[in-house]
Amino acid sequence: MSQEHGGRRHGVQLIAYADRFGGSVRGLLDLLDGPLAGVFDGVHLLPFFTPFDGADAGFDPVDHTAVDPRLGTWADVHELAGSRTLMADLIVNHVSADSAEFRDVVARGTASEHAGMFLTMSDVYPDGAGEDELAGIYRPRPGLPFTPMSLGGRRRLVWTTFTPRQIDLNLAHPAGQAYLDRVLSALTDGGVSMVRLDAVGYAVKTAGTSSFMTPQTFGFIEDLTARARERGAEVLVEIHSHFERQVAIAARVDRVYDFALPPLLLHALYTGDAAALRRWLAVRPANAVTVLDTHDGIGVVDVGPDQIEENRPGLLTPEQVHDLVEGIHTRSGGQSRQATGWAASNVDIYQVNCTYYDALGGDDDAYLLARAVQLFVPGVPQIYYVGLLAGRNDMELLARTGVGRDINRHHYTREEIERDLERPVVRRLLELVRLRNAHPAFGGDFRADGDGSVVVLSWRAGGHRASLEADVAAGTFRIEATPAQA
């Protein structure tokens, strides 16, 4: 299996909020050019739009084409992109209820020039919908995806897939399409060369379907991807779904996330059984962006039975998924339970909120084993800023905001960053990153083997070799590699 899926070989990338890791776009650049010089080939700059601190940490932009002036300017973003791959989010599904366009629709209704930009129930079901049809809509949160609102004095059911503060776009309407084109232009003009399609699986609503990853969704993704490629950008599709659906999606797009890897590694390290992990390694797409942690929680829907089609088993059984979730709660000392599900607001019911380091009980060896596996599987590795520093759960921030995901969204000072970079676990992680970036073997062919509790991942390019043997029961691993400059 060859590593790359078209284009150049990508090194390891950082995922970070500018305000929480550096304080601004220029502050993040100073870190990447300073204490982290030469470590990261690229960066996924999490929402920096106006405002970056809305109801959903920037994923509900009021103005998706503007850099929040508290973080910097488009010139700063362009400078960040100057010597590295820059990824940014194209928030496809929705905008903030406080956007100028939606506020105009609230005031003027159908008389607004922006009326066609936003989706209501009647846009999809002009003749109404029965119970079976509405119950069949797939949503990552409980309840139906509608919020009653007054638009121009008329009571309407506005489509709100995630929260009532995030208003879904009508992407079948020219106004919705034109909006996305404006945002895509702003991103690529600003130096963005990888575009992450946030929540794209929910973006196209079609009567008589689940309105999640339907054939119509695929058509939309292919069209939007073509428009991004015309502007020189590669596209990453963000989908949480059954593993077989992920494999099918990967064949039709530039890149997908490997969201199955994080829970499968936890399961393997909790149980000492690597069978499910090896099964995934045998079928996972090579054109993946590999992560252990992101700005969201640790997903479990990606390894469990299909939530849409019945009798479609997952990589783990429901009992194993339950034990996995309880294992995270136990190893985090119950902290993740306080941040997950009904215990905290604005959460995805299929994710557990916890830092990956705390999900492994703060065990340095287990954590480094997991990172080594991440860095040895094919794809583009991305490391979240909290995970880079082996961060602990931020219970103070959780208590202050009541937002579950904030447990893994710490605001780092420069002093904290410089201190944590000297911790042995972080220094060893940086050594793994440098190996992954520099060794020629990772540009060649990949093979996964092993038995029982052991996973063996090997790379070969000409005379260059690099291999990882990890024992999830013992919590140990060994790396062997030919000299990088041989």
Neighbours of 210 (CB within 10 A): 18
238 among known catalytic residues: yes
Helices (H), 332-378: 335-338, 356-359, 364-376
3 state DSSP class of 454: strand
The runs of H, that is alpha helices, within 311-363 are: 318-331, 335-338, 356-359
Alpha-carbon distance of 124 to 15, in angstroms, equals 36
The single residue of 60, 238, 358, 406 carrying the catalytic annotation is 238
- CB burial readout 281-318, b (16+ within 10 A) else e: beebbbbbbbbbbbbbbbbbbbbbbbbeeeeeebbbee
203 token code pair: 């973006």
Closest by CA position to 72, among listed 55, 91, 48: 48
Active site residue 198: yes
CB 2 within 8 A of CB 444: yes
Task: Tell me if 193 sits within 8 A of 86, measured CB to CB.
Answer: yes
The alpha helices in 194-353, defined as continuous H runs, are 215-230, 243-250, 261-271, 275-283, 318-331, 335-338
**Six-digit token pair at 164?**
């009532």
Closest Cα to residue 425, out of 383, 381, 467, 388? 388
- Which of these is catalytic: 198, 254, 296, 394? 198
Q: Name which of 140, 159, 457 is nearest 281 in CA terms.
A: 457
Please list, in sequence order, all residues whose beta carbon lies within 8 angstroms of the beta carbon of residue 444, skipping any fewer than 6 positions away.
2, 3, 459, 460, 461, 462, 464
Burial label, 8 (beta-carbon count in 10 A; 0-12, 13-18, 19+): exposed
Question: What's the N-to-C CA distance of the chain in angstroms?
Answer: 23
Distances (CA, A) of 372 to 339, 376, 443: 28, 6, 17
> Under a CB-based contact definition with an 8 Å cutoff, are residues 176 and 116 in contact?
yes
User: How many Å apart are CA 284 and CA 244, to the nearest integer?
Assistant: 9
User: Which residues are marked as active site?
Assistant: 198, 238
